[in-house]
Copies of this chain bind each other. A is one copy, B any other.
Amino acid sequence: MTQTAPSKRTQVGRLPKRGDYSKETIHGILDAAFLCHVGFVVDGQPFVIPTGYGRDGEILYIHGSAASRMLRNLEKGVDACVTVTLLDGIVLARAAFHHSMNYRSVVMLGTATLVEDAETKREALRIISEQIVPGRWDDVRLPNDQELKATTVLAFPIDEASAKVRTGPPADDEEDYGLDIWAGVLPLSLQPGTLIPDPRLKSGIDVVPTYRVGLQ
């Protein structure tokens, strides 16, 4: 167990017992998701942009167009915040006031760096792809040089980070437990539906893949 102390800026303020700064927890949450929200500032205005990611050790990789404003700003090394949120359920208390959600979330602060080395860049794209659709990389037409050139990959450090987690049943006021109100948790999770074949799928390709996405 590696217990990391929170930095001043990542100390969870409200309901601090839900805060967790261990690598186990932080990495566990980051590995169960693949979507983050990236915050950065342009001319004093914060922007929050949704983006996919993949984790490799202490690094989070993100990718996109070499012309993306988000990536072009981030690669300058501006202060950024990357947040990952997994919603696990709605907590139905007896009192409106005590309603809540069960969740696992991570907030990371830091600055991104451009991945320039060609081999690292290719590997980072594989890591992003495998995090989003495990197994897919082995089945597809891999990137060529032109595609790699059009793509920017950034590395974001996971070192200044906090997790916050809520689990379990509602916590009502003692006097409300006697009320005739149903209480409990409605679990929620991101679930895959039935694969929709491309209308232009080549005839003869009838082995439908079974990637595990969004089941954690």
A residues touching B (Cβ–Cβ < 8 Å)?
9, 13-14, 35, 37-41, 44-50, 52, 64-65, 67-69, 79-83, 85, 87, 89-90, 92-97, 99, 101, 103, 105, 107, 109, 125, 129, 132-133, 136-137, 139-144, 147, 151, 169-170, 176-202, 204-205, 207-209, 211, 213-214
Minimum Cβ distance to chain B for residue A157 (Å)? 14
**With A79-B44, A96-B125: A197-B214 Cβ-Cβ less than 8 Å:** no
CA distance A73 to B78 in the complex (A): 21
B39 pairs with A90, CB closer than 8 A: no
**With A14-B67, A99-B133: A198-B184 Cβ-Cβ less than 8 Å:** yes
Mostly, the A contact residues are: mixed
Minimum Cβ distance to chain B for residue A171 (Å)? 10
Measured between beta carbons, the chain B residues less than 8 angstroms from A192 are: 186-188
**With A14-B65, A46-B39, A67-B14: A196-B202 Cβ-Cβ less than 8 Å:** no
CA distance A92 to B201 in the complex (A): 11
Can you list 26 A-B contacts with CB-CB less than 8 angstroms, sorted by A residue number? A9-B45, A13-B69, A14-B64, A14-B67, A35-B85, A37-B50, A37-B85, A39-B39, A41-B46, A45-B79, A45-B81, A46-B81, A49-B83, A90-B132, A92-B133, A101-B132, A180-B202, A180-B205, A182-B201, A183-B197, A183-B201, A184-B198, A185-B198, A187-B195, A188-B191, A188-B213
